[in-house]
Amino acid sequence: MLWDLFLLILVYVLFLNIEATMSSYGVHPNTRVPLNRSSSFTNIYPMMNEASSDGSKRVYVATFIADTPPKNGYAGGIATIDAYNFQNIKGGDTTAAVMWISNDDIDVIQAGWMVDPSYYGDSKPHFFVGWTTDGFKGKTGCINLDCTGFAPVNGAPITPGDALELVNGQAKISFKIFKNEDDGDWWLHFGQDVNNLHTTGFWPKSLFNKMEDHANKITWGGYARCYGVNPSPPMGNGQWPGKNSASIQDIQFVDTNGRGYAVPAWSLRVDSGNKKCYQASPFMNSMFYLGGPGGCTN
């Protein structure tokens, strides 16, 4: 009897030790088991260059891209992003502001906020994370905690999928993603400003093929998507870039120790696909304005 009790306790202790090795912070209890994803997975995911060839799905961006990495690649990025809600977004439409970190657009991790009534059931901005290792073909990866991949930690300041708290219809969120020198995983820190970021979770390096060691592209910007003949939704806060529009600030690269450093303007190129609906301002002082009213039908 005592021997059986001893074995039971030993197994329990070993289980706790295995869990602890997953993260020095401990895995967040909200981590979910894998889901049986349907084809709708690719429809909710804010991803680059995903417009359908038949025109049924249209995607628009206003971004700045860093894709001339140093010899050892990029280790991460930082951003402070304005977030807004949109009461008139149609079901199936999405508007978002995102930081993407990728290698050859095959391995990708991303974080930011998005409004997607079809997915979240409301028109509020939600913090989200995502990942893929097949260039968004829909066979790998997911958004938030809809599959095994991103691992939130105990005591995290936010859980992916949470609605953001707005003050006067607006919020600011800051976060950084970087490849940690100690364990090689891609870590996410989140906060209300860049000087108060807190550990939120990580993507294990074992998820990735091309991004196990480094990234070769970082993108900051706005994203909008619509279907069929629907006019495209607003981006940012719906205003053209300027002092009254949305912005992405505190843009930095991050080293493997988690320290930020300046992004030279010459290292960035702008990508604003349809300037009749969305634009980005020049990049100055580690920030740019972005947005537009939308309304594109082609």
Concatenate the DSSP letters of all residues of 12-46 into one string: HHHHHHHHHHT-TT-B-TT--PPP---TTHHHH--
* Mean pLDDT for the stretch of residues 226-245: 94
Token code pair at residue 197: 């970021």
Q: Is the dihedral of CA 65, 70, 74, 75 positive or negative?
A: negative
**pLDDT tens digit sequence for 286-298:** 999 999 999 998 8
**pLDDT at res. 21:** 34
CA distance 151 to 31: 7
Task: Please give the residue that has the higher pLDDT: either 171 or 228.
Answer: 171
Binned at pLDDT 50, 70 and 90, residue 14 comes out as very low
| pLDDT digits 0-9 by tens, 89-115 | 888 899 999 999 999 999 999 999 999
Summarize the confidence of residues 187-203 as an average pLDDT. 96
**pTM for the whole structure:** 0.85
Return the percentage of the chain with pLDDT > 70, whole number. 82
Burial 11-50 (b: 16+ CB within 10 A, else e): eeeeeeeeeeeebebebbeebeeeeeeeeebbbbbbbbeb
Q: Both tokens of residue 229?
A: 């003949």
> What's the pLDDT band for 13 if we cut at 50, 70, 90?
very low
CA–CA distance from 198 to each of 18, 47, 167, 185 (Å)? Answer: 24, 26, 21, 16
Lowest mean pLDDT among 21-35, 214-228, 234-248: 21-35
Confidence of residue 46 (pLDDT cuts 50, 70, 90): low
pLDDT range class, residue 230, cuts 50, 70, 90: confident
The DSSP output letter for 174 is E
**pLDDT at residue 151 is higher than 90:** yes
Mean pLDDT of 158-166: 96
Nearest to 273 by CA among 50, 105, 62: 62
Q: Rounded to an integer, what distance in angstroms lies between the CA atom of residue 110 and that of residue 106?
A: 13
Q: What is the mean pLDDT of residues 64-91?
A: 93
Res 65: pLDDT: 97
Q: Coil, strand or helix: which one is 206?
A: helix
